[in-house]
Amino acid sequence: MSASEGTPSRSSTFGVLGASGYTGRLVVAEGLRRGHRVVALGRDPGRVRSRLEADGIDVDRDLVEIRTADVGDPQGLRGALEGLEVLLTTVGPFDQLGRDVLDAAIDTGTHYVDVTGEQHFIRWAYDERDAAARAAGISAVPAAGFDFLPGDLLAGLAGDVVADPSEIHVAYIVPSSGGLLRVTSAGTRRTAATMLDRPGVALDRGVLVEEGLAEARRLAWFPRPVGPHHAAGIPGGEAISVPRHVPGVRSVRTYLAIPSWKAEAIQVVGSAARWGPLRRRITAVLERGSGGPSEERRRATRWGCVAEARGADGVARAWAYGHDLYGLTATAMVVVGEALLGGGVAAGVIPPASVAPPGELLDRIAARSDLRWSVARPDPTADLPPVD
């Protein structure tokens, strides 16, 4: 399902923190394509300039300015955000580097959007900074990139079409002959390394419970032509965000579709990473290399996401698919930022599905990418596979 582009948004002042990074440069380019006034923020303005110019951006003509912004300097960071309407930040690991950034946005009254995939940071933002964001009158949206915006929006769609939704399972699939390491950026891998020895949580019968990486298993029912796939549990943002917009849901888990032998290997790695010396070795492997996938590889990388919701009247499934994880992230960030400035969005730390109706937000993203989505009405004869 897709929609036309609709009415163009007004030009707004967007700040992009991490503008010299792999994802940040894509966000800068997307903001400029949409006609926004873009302020590029980074620790080293010279590096920001050279990286953006290498991407074909005329910095002096296209950008408002480049500002120095060091996440290790909270006071300077607040000064760098002055005059911005919305901040789009790609600087991670967020649990290490992102807390002062969100605080600076709150203190300066700047709307905030990030791309974190770190469940610990997401929990902190909702639990510890929601009241401050509401008092400041700003909206802050964590996890508004590929991790975990599709799952949150699709969970909202599936949960909305069943009566009394009780459980929602979200599964992602990224088929890659070379493995995920070949289609991810150095920043993504560095962030993954920080999460190795930290158990995540899932919502299980109304309670957040700790679950190790790949501990939960199930069969995820991706629509054709993908079909059912074995999936292993990961610490997704959906366990934190979905209960905030799907009333009454009692269980929420997130999975990644991988063969069972890989799930076993990941579970072993997760357990072994609790031992310091081995964790350092694994981290070194994950952090090997620089940059990210080539543009050709990036655009060829397929992805899919399905949300399965059980309600009193059966099981409903919402599904989205497309190409280019990082292109999707850049587009989604700008779309969410535009929606925050459009008015009518609640203040506080909010999930993507609370920024605008999920189908509307997916349509806005689809109008600028090859994302496609659909939702199936409840099937009273269907059932969800049990969680192993």
Residue the block writes with tokens 């002959």: 177
Tokens for 353, please give them. Answer: 């599905």
- In this structure, the strands spanning 217-221 and 207-211 are unpaired
Cα–Cα distance, 244 to 254 (Å, whole number): 16
Q: Which element (helix H / strand E) includes 9? A: none
Sheet holding 37-42, edge to edge: 65-68, 37-42, 13-17, 86-89, 111-114, 139-141, 348-349
**pLDDT of the residue at 190:** 74
Identify whether 384 is part of a domain.
no
pTM (predicted TM-score):
0.92
- Average pLDDT score, the chain: 90
Pair (93, 132) in one structural domain? yes
**pLDDT of the residue at 147:** 94
**pLDDT of the residue at 191:** 76
Pair (221, 361) in one structural domain? no
Q: Which element (helix H / strand E) includes 170? A: strand 167-173
Structure confidence by residue, pLDDT tens digits, 5-64? 333 445 689 999 999 999 999 999 999 999 999 999 999 999 999 999 999 999 999 999
What is the Cα 198 distance to its own chain's centre?
19
**pLDDT of the residue at 253:** 98
Pair (169, 318) in one structural domain? yes
Tokens for 18, please give them. Answer: 């991490």
**pLDDT of the residue at 195:** 67
Would the pLDDT of 299 be above 50?
yes
Pair (20, 137) in one structural domain? yes
Residue the block writes with tokens 């999936």: 231
**pLDDT of the residue at 187:** 76
φ, ψ for residue 87 (rounded to 5)?
-110, 125
Q: What is the DSSP track for 105-151?
A: HHHHT-EEEE----HHHHHHHHHHHHHHHHHHT-EEE---BTTBHHH
Residue 165: cis peptide before it, omega within 30 degrees of 0: no
Structure confidence by residue, pLDDT tens digits, 97-156? 999 999 999 999 999 999 999 999 999 999 999 999 999 999 999 999 999 999 999 999
Identify whether 241 is part of a domain.
yes
Identify whether 6 is part of a domain.
no
Pair (314, 216) in one structural domain? yes
Task: Please check whether residue 197 is in contact with residue 283, taking contact to mean a CB–CB distance below 8 angstroms.
Answer: no
Pair (220, 244) in one structural domain? yes
- Three-state secondary structure of 285-307: HHCCCCCCCCHHHHHHCEEEEEE
Pair (50, 76) in one structural domain? yes
Pair (130, 158) in one structural domain? no
**pLDDT of the residue at 280:** 67
Q: What is the CATH number of the domain that holds 284?
A: 3.30.360.10
User: pLDDT higher for 195 or 243?
Assistant: 243
**pLDDT of the residue at 235:** 95
Q: What is the CATH number of the domain that holds 99?
A: 3.40.50.720
Would the pLDDT of 383 be above 70?
yes
**pLDDT of the residue at 7:** 36
**pLDDT of the residue at 205:** 96
Above pLDDT 90, what percent of the chain?
A: 75
Structure confidence by residue, pLDDT tens digits, 153-206? 999 999 999 999 999 999 999 986 556 667 887 777 777 767 667 789 999 999
Residue 1 pLDDT grade (very low, low, confident, very high; cuts 50, 70, 90) = very low
Per-residue DSSP letter, 7: S
Pair (267, 123) in one structural domain? no
**pLDDT of the residue at 285:** 65
Structure confidence by residue, pLDDT tens digits, 198-225? 789 999 999 999 998 889 999 999 988 8
Identify whether 251 is part of a domain.
yes
153-177 exposure pattern, b = at least 16 Cβ within 10 A, e = fewer = bbbbbbbbbbeebbbbbbbbbbebe
Would the pLDDT of 317 be above 60?
yes
Domain count, the chain: 2
Structure confidence by residue, pLDDT tens digits, 339-361? 999 889 999 999 999 999 999 99
Pair (56, 190) in one structural domain? no
Would the pLDDT of 303 be above 50?
yes
Residue 274 pLDDT grade (very low, low, confident, very high; cuts 50, 70, 90) = low
Range of the domain at 290: 149-325+368-379
User: pLDDT higher for 151 or 227?
Assistant: 151
**pLDDT of the residue at 2:** 32
